[in-house]
């Protein structure tokens, strides 16, 4: 058993095997998913992440823990971001890390 974060991680044979498990959702299942998503929307948070299989709202600083901020004095921001993306492959785009670094340097978040 393994977990994928998006279909791009699967080859064609994998997609075919996943689709074999496809089945129509009952009205109750659809309502349950709709209620769950509504709860996520009502959280009114800036970032949503898939954490242990559940979508939850987190603060803007959630991914800052992956940045080696102490290295910014001797490393470029690009290197700090590259290390974070290489060491913690959690599908955070580089522009988000750059945004957070800019915010941290301008506001001291």
What contacts 24+ positions apart, CB below 8 Å, involve 74-80? 77/101
Residue positions counted in the chain: 109
Q: Note whether 57 and 71 are within 8 A (CB).
A: no
Ranges of residues in the chain whose predicted pLDDT is under 70? 1-3, 5, 7, 107-109
Q: Tell me how far apart the alpha carbons of residues 20 and 70 are, in angstroms, rounded to a whole number.
A: 49
The closest of 58, 81, 57, 59 to 68, measured between CA atoms, is 81
pLDDT 10s digits, 46-59? 888 888 877 888 88
Instruction: Classify residue 20 by its DSSP letter.
Output: T
pTM of the model as a whole: 0.60
Q: Tell me how far apart the alpha carbons of residues 30 and 54 are, in angstroms, rounded to a whole number.
A: 16
């Amino acid at each position: 058993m393994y977990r994928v974060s998006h279909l791009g991680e699967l080859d064609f044979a994998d997609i075919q095997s996943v689709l074999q498990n496809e089945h129509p959702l009952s009205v109750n299942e659809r309502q349950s998913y709709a209620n769950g998503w509504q709860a996520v929307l009502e959280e009114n948070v800036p970032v949503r992440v898939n954490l242990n299989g559940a979508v939850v709202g987190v603060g803007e600083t959630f991914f800052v823990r992956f940045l080696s901020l102490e290295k910014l004095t001797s490393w470029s921001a690009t290197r700090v971001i590259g290390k974070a993306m290489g060491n913690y492959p959690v599908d955070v785009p580089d522009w988000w890390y750059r945004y957070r670094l800019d915010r941290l340097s301008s506001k001291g978040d």
